[in-house]
Structure 1
Amino acid sequence: MTVAYLAYYLLVGRVIAAVFGNEVDKHDLLSTGASIFFGLVLPLAVGAVTLVGFTASIGWLRRVFGQQDVAGRRPWMWVGPALVIVAIISHAAAIDWSNWRPEQIALIALLGVCVGLAEELVTRGLVVQMLRGAERSERFVMGVSSLLFALMHMANMLSGMKASTVLVTIVYTFGFGVCMYLTMRVTGTIWAAIALHAFTDPTTLLASGGVDEAVTGHPGAWSLLASMATILMIAFSLVAVFLVRGNRRAPAV
């Protein structure tokens, strides 16, 4: 499922690039509104809509987007979404808003919505429900869905990202994926994970000033707090894999 979505997303991106390539600034995707829309937003929007359509076609909309059983949740699981919220607030506080035009901010916010919906639907939605349907343990479900989410970001190498940066991204996104899984587990809804994810990417982009730029490289107390939250997120995810217990079946359609 994850591989199929990634292949489709890349194909859509290629088609859009072939048609609207002149609108995209390959050296700085965030430089103009048109570049943000055609280079980043539109491929993800098409992917998100297609995923929702696929989910509806197999009759899983209620299973994925409906309220889930929260039996077995534990207080320690709230650490996951809490760390993500701290990172979001820190990134937002570190943004130099004077560097951004209103249309850039609006489109980057829309990008966040598309990223949150598409990536959470495919990994915390469809993949999790498939694994639960196969009666896998929750440790297995959390670990595998988070790993698949992380490995999706290997596609960044196709855009020229350095291998070392991709490796760091994979480590971070695994930790983030675990926290998103725990967010869904403690709230009983994928919408909570979609919302946090939708805030994470825009605040990170706006705070760092560019795609694939690290907020950790920027001075300031808020950037330092964001870095600490990110490091704790990764460390916590490794511990969480050993703490999670139980088996949960996918709800009936």
Structure 2
Amino acid sequence: MAEPQNTSGWKRFWERGGWWRSLLVVVGYYVLWQLLSLALGPIIAAVDTSNEAVAVLVSYGLPIALGCVILVVFALTTGWLRELFGKQPIRGRGWMWIAVVVTVLFNVLHFAGIDYAQAGGGLVAAWVVSSLFVGFAEEFLTRGLVVNLMRKAGYREIVVAVVSAALFAALHAGNLLSGQSVLATGFQLLYTFAFGICMYLALRVTGNLIWPILIHGTTDSATFLFTGNPAPGAISALAAQGNIVVILTGLILLIFIRGRVDAPTPAFADTQKPA
């Protein structure tokens, strides 16, 4: 499909898609977000964070919420906001529900295994809200913008899935700079790659970006709260196996991804054959 003559050079640049434009948008976001976080430093330092719930909202939730704003502004400048939240151009298959079931199941188990009396209602609410911002930002970036860019360049779906998951995992390599050990970071990269595959399949089978955002957001809040406030019992013991199960699920299901979306696709309007 030919591009309209009145389309700006900025929009034409991004409409061509490709893996390096995907890398560019991820790196650009990460750098802008880090700079924004540094700029927020004096504001965060001025807030009394002796209350743990306030600390989570201000130190964790606020920076990522502003990161969400960066991504939405970018999508508005390219005219993709409606496109990203539109119906998927390629239908999912029944087996893809496995990724949704596994991730949601362990979210439920993690929430069920939290000692709520120890955590307190304020902290629970703070993690849920902050983690929804994280889910929005990271899914909008990788399962939204990156997937869109890769499909516009005509890559097969297996490549789209791997690149979006790899860039999602790479975002977490920055935790080395905060003092996280190499071993812990390596395991986190493996987990986030596999989780990224699961979220790509969730995007495919549910047909809308909102669902990976919600699953991701509840995964983070459930995991953080469970890790800091585990309740004793069999449920907690089972929930603690979640990371390993998600890794195995993502890596195994990756083998079965097939198909492609015809390029270029200025809007997610044409329904393609199921893969």
Is the pair's TM-score, using the shorter chain for normalization, greater than 0.5?
Answer: yes
Q: Deviations over 1:116-135 (max 9, x none)?
A: 11000000000000000000
The answer for the alignment partner of 1:238 in structure 2 is 251
CA displacement at 1:31 relative to structure 2: 5.3
Amino acid at match of 1:44: I
Give 1 or 2 for the bigger CA radius of gyration. 2
Question: What is the 5 A alignment of 1:105-120?
Answer: 105-120=124-139
The answer for the alignment partner of 1:139 in structure 2 is 158
Question: What is the 5 A alignment of 1:38-187?
Answer: 38-71=58-91, 73-187=92-206
Q: Deviations over 1:50-78 (max 9, x none)?
A: 1111101110012111111343x222211
TM-score by length of structure 1 reads 0.89
1:153/1:169 contact within 8 Å kept: yes
Q: Does 1:228 align with 2:247?
A: no
Partners of 1:228 and 1:249 in 2: CA distance: 39
Partners of 1:167 and 1:221 in 2: CA distance: 28
Where structure 2 has 5 or more consecutive residues not aligned to the other structure, the ranges are 1-24, 268-275
Question: What is the 5 A alignment of 1:15-54?
Answer: 15-23=39-47, 32-54=52-74
SS at match of 1:239: helix
Match of 1:8 among 26, 29, 32: 32
Partners of 1:142 and 1:220 in 2: CA distance: 37
Higher helix share: 1
Partners of 2:251 and 2:104 in 1: CA distance: 19
Q: Deviations over 1:26-61 (max 9, x none)?
A: xxxx95233112210110000001111110111001
Partners of 2:154 and 2:246 in 1: CA distance: 28
Q: Does 1:252 align with 2:269?
A: no
Partners of 2:254 and 2:181 in 1: CA distance: 28
SS at match of 2:262: coil
1:44/1:118 contact within 8 Å kept: yes
Runs of 4 or more, structure 1, over 6 Å off, are none
TM-score by length of structure 2 reads 0.82
CA displacement at 1:220 relative to structure 2: 3.4
Identity %: 35
CA displacement at 1:169 relative to structure 2: 0.7
Partners of 2:169 and 2:60 in 1: CA distance: 19
Amino acid at match of 1:188: G
Where structure 1 has 5 or more consecutive residues not aligned to the other structure, the ranges are none
Q: Deviations over 1:217-253 (max 9, x none)?
A: x863223322434322211222222211111136433
Partners of 1:222 and 1:174 in 2: CA distance: 26
CA displacement at 1:183 relative to structure 2: 0.3
The count of corresponding residues between Structure 1 and Structure 2 is 242
1:70/1:186 contact within 8 Å kept: no
1:17/1:38 contact within 8 Å kept: no
Root mean square deviation of aligned Cα: 1.9
Partners of 2:185 and 2:119 in 1: CA distance: 26
1:112/1:202 contact within 8 Å kept: yes
Amino acid at match of 2:266: A
The answer for the alignment partner of 1:201 in structure 2 is 220
Partners of 1:229 and 1:164 in 2: CA distance: 19
Partners of 2:214 and 2:65 in 1: CA distance: 16
Amino acid at match of 1:226: A
SS at match of 1:243: coil
